[in-house]
Chains A and B, each alone.
Chain A
């Protein structure tokens, strides 16, 4: 199922990219709109233009992959978001983790990076006893784990909600009693949730990419 999504997305984007012209057609405009959105809204707001150039390919790739996988959840026939099984969110989160750790170590050195992330300046000395373990745990575990679980839970929840409402509608409609009267309402709700899922798919792709950019920015920034 993911193979289908990946194949479709890659073929479409490859066709668009190979036919890319100076004066864009409609399809090219949409893809460019998304790229410009990631560039303008996510990357430049967090990393700035100069740093952003280095990480833009990574972030845009992640954004497109998550967006297409999320949207697979609302495509009839596929019905299950690629990100609602833990493998994909976990891998993407780990990829992000590796990216920001490598970027941070490259910039500050290994010890310097640890100090940079775990010992924010301007804090009274004794607090470090508390702060260092928390920050360390946050860097090595909580960040990528939260990325994974946030994306996974959102997509699973959306899937379950759709299943519940569509199943409920079907059950009411076929119940053969006066409960049939309730089915239009649940059906309308199911359609509403369907639309909501499309929104969530885009939103989660945006949040994941945004947080990845923020983590990279935190790792490579000069000061907190």
Chain B
């Protein structure tokens, strides 16, 4: 421009020349067509897709969070149930144990009772046997001794036994009375 030789009037700046307008029009149309038909739709598609992706991602994150929350709630519920069950089992075990101990105690008591009773019965039976045996032996012994003392007069067995038995019965009854 500084090299411009001839003077150009200023108003010419605002007056378009026909070839310039035509060329500019062609350029603008080319630019506009390419921009409107290719560049912008493509870029807008990408922008929209990205927005969608981000939205989808956010939604998915929310869903996952929800799932995690649900899972946690379920787990806690299960844990509480398990705890309760464990407490129930423990309680039952304690009761069972108490019951078993109680039963064992009762059984042991009855057993000891039984053993005691049996022992006592055996004892009394043995005592009876012993007393019966003693009875006869003492009778024989006493009659033998008496016959030796008084001679042959007591050989009559029948009579002597009666005498001895009476004697022993007296003895026994006196014994019972003194006891």
Contacts and interface: CB of A to CB of B under 8 A. Distances in A.
A44 interface: no
A28 to B, nearest CB: 8
Given A10-B31, A35-B47, A57 B20 contact: no
B46 to A, nearest CB: 4
Interface string A138-161: 000000000001001000100110
Contacts of A61: 31-32, 35-36, 40
Nearest to B21: A87
Contact of B40 (A57, A88, A91, A149): A57
Contacts of B34: 10, 14
Given A149-B14, A152-B13, A22 B36 contact: no
B79 interface: no
A21 B53 CA distance: 12
Given A61-B31, A87-B16, A87-B23, A20 B38 contact: no
Interface stretch (A1-9, A122-130, A195-203): A1-9
A58 B28 CA distance: 12
A92 interface: yes
A99 B64 CA distance: 48
A178 B92 CA distance: 114
Which bracket fits the contact residues of A? 35 or more
Nearest to A2: B27
Contact of B20 (A10, A14, A65, A87): A87
Contacts of A177: none
Interface of A: 2-3, 6, 9-10, 13-14, 16-18, 20-22, 24, 31-32, 35-36, 57-58, 60-61, 64-65, 85-88, 90-92, 95, 149, 152, 156, 159-160, 163, 167
16 contacts: A6-B27, A13-B39, A17-B42, A20-B43, A35-B47, A57-B36, A61-B35, A65-B35, A87-B16, A87-B20, A88-B27, A90-B16, A90-B21, A91-B24, A92-B28, A149-B14
Interface of B: 1-2, 13-17, 20-21, 23-25, 27-28, 30-32, 34-36, 38-40, 42-47, 49-50, 53
